């Protein structure tokens, strides 16, 4: 039993193998008491802070003048009564007021996992794997009920939260804010770790001491975005990769979001994540319900490495689905940087022949195969092959690529439409737009209104027909601009505030249909690289193109930042040609290979541009990737050096049976006349003895943990090294 309720104390204790999460109902309100390392099962009421500071605050009707909602550690704070801090929930009533004052009315504990309707979610493979607590809170005057769900994955050390709001009243209400999770820690000496970035430089990690007031990350871009990624971490100032208290919240959603940390005047820290509330207004008629996306909460007592390890395992094993969940992904060669728009069947087939000889298993035809698209200003929406480039259609190309020894993958940007397309000429009303306002273009394109079923059906049919025709085994699903003019022609005026979220419900429904129809197809998400790299897409697409920046050195930061939450198998990483197309820099081939060996490996180059020696390195890299197989796909990953603190990045993978280790170090800038460097491994099993496959050297687990591995000396700028160790 991972969920324990005490009727005497009205306390809920949620236990995982390593953690406990405690709440208590006090004066009908749900109060947060504790989230941290595992506690014995007992009454923890002494953790309450009953010495409230209520001056100036609204008091409760119980006439306890010392009691205030504004200082209580709330589990799901709502706007309108006495709570003055950032809220998790706001609604508007028919008479125009905005107030919600939900009180506890009951709960139930069930085996298994509850899922939010129409949204991506973590799953349990058996009822024993997960237990769900549903707490019911009611705003009595309106009869609006909040169902707070806590799904406890005991073995994964994770709690998955989401909220269902149900209108049990007689009148419409408008939901203006519906966050997935919020909680108040009675700690103030914390640091916040979040990320920021932009196209081609995604997910830079930023860590700072929290201050009184609100610090926020968010997206209002209609996508999780390059700017901030939907995860938030709080930690002890002294937390490192292996020690310290660390609290994480990640949203399983791909659209606009907000993540907030608020330190109040009484040294309590609120942490919350959920749907972006700006522009959000959802009509909830009597009898209707609305579910929030899931938020995944992970606490680690073992520092940031422990937190990442728990996220990686859960996301890899209980969020990703399908045949590729547990399989090494095929080695692919994507033709984008090899050809851009300039290709035809002959060119792709010749690349396939050359690549197949070096072990490549899949050739991906990127943008430009359809309509009349020779540059990025037309044809999105017209998903029929360009006969000038592909005279035999997708079928003809697929047959020839297969004869060359590779499978065929193909690029789509399904959610977009070019003004210069047959689709737009036929269906201008299918675009997200607002009457009387310009339809803004971004990269020459507009966005289809995926909240519409007819649009979803059109896309399903178009994509299904191409997949079927070519027996396609991989789809790269791109999304290359942010939202603007978010309006739908089908929805009424008072429902326009629903469009952005309905769009994502439509997208998820479409992806679900495609996954079911084509279970053998590997889908990869992309959004100008990592502009929609989030947990929401992982159930449908177990990997994402991490960034359009393929420079091995710049990738160190991008992959480092992504690895705080996302498993390596979800990061697609390719070896590209030098000088690099984004930075103009040149890195040794081995450095490019070792940086790209992150789980979903491939190439982004024309093999005819390689010399003999590079071709040999190419083939050797493919063999190494195949040999490492499961280790990269399922192994445990540890960050061993922060590239912002050292002149090199280092990491390792450890096999599930702990007998195999693959460690990599990449020097991103040289230190002239510097000293020798070493880095320590962690997570190794005491008593194990490893032999290096590279040079035969023997190391004990204790040596690797206490002393570590020595970097080559001197290590040149952009040089990389690896150690492949096996227990003997």
Q: Give the pair of three-digit tokens for residue 333.
A: 């060669």
Residue 144, classified by CB atoms within 10 Å of its CB into exposed (0-12), middle (13-18) or buried (19+), is buried
* Cβ-contact 286, 93 below 8 angstroms: no
The C-alpha R_g of the chain, in whole angstroms, comes to: 26
Q: Which residue is nearest to ligand GLA (CB)?
A: 367
Closest contact distance (angstroms) between CB of 464 and ligand GLA is 21
Nearer to ligand GLA, 411 or 601 (CB): 411
Between CA 370 and CA 410 the distance in angstroms is: 11
Please give the Cα distance from 446 to 433 (Å, whole number): 9
Using the minimum distance from each CB to ligand GLA, give the nearer residue, 356 or 526.
526
Q: Which is nearer to ligand GLA, 154 or 366 (CB)?
A: 366
CB of 604 to ligand GLA, least distance (A): 8
Q: Write a three-state SS string for 567-632.
A: CHHHEEEEEECCCCCCCCCCCCHHHHHHHHCCCEEEEECCHHHCCHHHHHHHHHHHHHHHHHCHHH
d(CA 576, CA 582): 10
Half-sphere exposure of residue 222: CA atoms within 13 angstroms, side-chain side: 25
Considering the complex, what minimum distance in angstroms separates the CB of residue 531 from ligand GLA? 8
Q: Is the CB of residue 470 less than 8 Å from the CB of residue 398?
A: yes
Residues 6+ apart with CB under 8 A from 543: 324, 329, 522, 524, 525, 569, 570, 571, 572, 599, 600
Which positions lie near ligand GLA, rule CB under 6 A? 336, 366-367, 376, 411, 478, 480, 526, 528-529, 545, 548
Q: What is the 3-state secondary structure (H, E, C) of 56-100?
A: CCCCCCCCCCCCCCCCCCECCCECCCCCCCCCCEEEECCCCCCCC
Eight-state DSSP code of residue 2? -
Instruction: Write down the least CB distance from residue 397 to ligand GLA, Å.
Output: 17
Least Å distance, CB 530 to ligand GLA, is 9
Q: Choose between 521 and 667: whose C-beta lies nearer to ligand GLA.
A: 521
User: Smallest distance from the beta carbon of 603 to ligand GLA, in angstroms?
Assistant: 13
Residues tagged active-site: 478, 548
- 570-602: buried (b, 16+ CB within 10 Å) or exposed (e) per residue? bbbbbbbbbebbbbeeebebbbbbbbbbbbbbb
- Closest approach of ligand GLA to the CB of residue 385, in Å: 16
Task: Classify residue 487 by burial, with Cβ atoms within 10 Å: 0-12, 13-18, 19+.
Answer: middle
Considering the complex, state which of residue 169 and residue 602 has its C-beta at the smaller distance from ligand GLA: 602
List CB contacts of 33: < 8 A, sequence separation 6 or more.
11, 22, 23, 24, 44, 45, 47, 48, 73
The answer to whether 3 touches 114, Cβ cutoff 8 Å, is no
Nearer to ligand GLA, 67 or 601 (CB): 601
Nearer to ligand GLA, 291 or 366 (CB): 366
Which ranges in 132-194 belong to alpha helices (H)? none
Sole residue written with tokens 């430009």: 368
The DSSP string of 84-144 is -S--SEEEE-TTS------EEEEEEEEES----TTS-----SSGGGEEEEEEEEEETTTTE
Closer to ligand GLA by Cβ: residue 180 or 418:
418
Beta carbon of residue 411, minimum distance to ligand GLA (angstroms, whole number): 6
Nearest distance in Å: CB 442, ligand GLA: 12
State in angstroms the smallest separation of the CB of 6 from ligand GLA. 53
Q: Compute the residue count for the chain.
A: 728
Among residues 478 and 551, whose Cβ is nearest to ligand GLA? 478
550 closest CA partner among 561, 559, 560, 542: 559
| Of residues 138 and 202, the one with the C-beta less far from ligand GLA | 202
């Amino acid at each position: 039993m991972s969920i324990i309720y005490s009727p005497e104390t009205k306390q809920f204790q949620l236990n995982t193998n390593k953690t406990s999460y405690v709440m208590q109902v006090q004066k009908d309100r749900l109060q947060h008491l504790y989230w941290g390392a595992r506690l014995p099962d007992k009454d923890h009421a002494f953790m309450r802070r009953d010495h409230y500071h209520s001056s100036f605050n609204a008091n409760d009707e119980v006439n306890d003048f010392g009691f205030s909602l504004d200082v209580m550690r709330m589990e799901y704070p709502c706007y309108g009564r006495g709570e003055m801090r950032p809220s998790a929930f706001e609604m508007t009533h028919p008479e125009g007021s905005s107030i919600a004052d939900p009180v506890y009315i009951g709960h139930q504990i069930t085996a298994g996992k509850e899922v939010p309707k129409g949204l991506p979610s973590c799953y349990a493979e058996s009822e024993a794997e997960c237990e769900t607590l549903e707490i019911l809170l009611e705003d009595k005057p309106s009869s609006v009920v909040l169902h707070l769900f806590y799904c406890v994955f005991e073995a994964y050390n994770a709690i998955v939260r989401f909220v269902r709001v149900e209108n049990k009243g007689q009148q419409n209400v408008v939901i203006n804010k519906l966050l997935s999770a919020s909680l108040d820690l009675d700690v103030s000496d914390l640091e916040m770790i979040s990320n920021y970035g932009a196209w081609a430089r995604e997910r830079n990690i930023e860590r700072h001491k929290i201050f009184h007031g609100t610090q926020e990350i968010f997206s209002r871009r209609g996508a999780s975005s390059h700017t901030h990624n939907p995860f938030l971490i709080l930690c002890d100032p002294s937390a490192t990769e292996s020690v310290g208290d660390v609290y994480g919240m990640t949203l399983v959603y791909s659209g606009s979001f907000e993540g907030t940390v608020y330190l109040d005047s009484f040294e309590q820290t609120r942490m919350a994540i959920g749907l972006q509330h700006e522009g959000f207004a959802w009509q909830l008629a009597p009898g209707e319900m609305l579910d929030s996306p899931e938020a995944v909460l992970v606490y680690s007592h073992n520092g940031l490495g422990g937190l990442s390890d728990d996220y990686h395992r859960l996301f890899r094993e209980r969020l990703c689905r399908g045949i590729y969940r547990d399989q090494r992904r095929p080695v692919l060669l994507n033709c984008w940087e090899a050809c851009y728009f300039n290709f035809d069947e002959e060119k792709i087939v010749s690349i396939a022949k050359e690549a197949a000889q070096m072990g490549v298993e899949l050739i991906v035809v990127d943008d430009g195969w359809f309509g009349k698209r020779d540059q990025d200003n037309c044809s999105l929406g017209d998903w029929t092959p360009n006969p000038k480039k592909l005279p035999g259609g997708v079928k003809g190309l697929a047959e020839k690529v297969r004869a060359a020894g590779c499978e065929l993958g193909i690029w789509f940007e399904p959610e977009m439409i070019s003004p210069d397309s047959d689709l737009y000429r036929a269906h201008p009303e299918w675009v997200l737009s607002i009457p009387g306002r310009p339809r803004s273009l971004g990269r020459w394109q507009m966005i289809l209104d995926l909240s519409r079923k007819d649009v979803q059906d059109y896309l399903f049919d178009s994509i299904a027909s191409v997949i079927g025709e070519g027996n396609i085994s991989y789809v790269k699903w791109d999304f290359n601009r942010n939202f603007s003019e978010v309006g739908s022609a089908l929805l009424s005026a008072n429902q326009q505030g629903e469009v952005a979220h309905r769009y994502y419900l439509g997208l998820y429904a479409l992806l679900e249909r495609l996954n079911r129809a084509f279970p053998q197809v590997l889908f990869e998400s992309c959004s100008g690289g990592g502009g929609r790299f989030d947990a929401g897409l992982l159930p449908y697409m177990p990997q994402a193109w991490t960034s359009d920046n393929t420079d091995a050195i710049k990738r160190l930061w991008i992959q480092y930042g992504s690895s705080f939450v996302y498993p390596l198998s979800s990061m697609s990483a390719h070896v590209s040609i030098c000088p690099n197309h984004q930075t103009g820099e040149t890195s040794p081939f081995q450095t490019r290979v070792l940086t790209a060996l992150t789980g979903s490996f491939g190439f982004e180059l024309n093999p005819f541009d390689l010399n003999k020696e590079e071709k040999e390195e190419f083939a050797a890299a493919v063999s190494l990737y195949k040999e490492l197989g499961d280790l990269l796909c399922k192994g445990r990953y540890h960050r061993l050096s922060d590239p912002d603190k050292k002149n090199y990045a280092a990491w390792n993978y450890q096999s599930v049976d702990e007998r195999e280790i693959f460690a990599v170090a990449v020097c991103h800038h040289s230190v002239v006349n510097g000293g020798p460097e070493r880095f320590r491994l962690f997570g190794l099993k005491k008593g194990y003895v490893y032999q290096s496959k590279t040079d035969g050297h023997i190391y004990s687990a204790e040596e690797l943990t206490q002393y570590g591995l020595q970097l080559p000396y001197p290590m040149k700028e952009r040089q990389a090294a690896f150690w492949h160790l096996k227990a003997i």
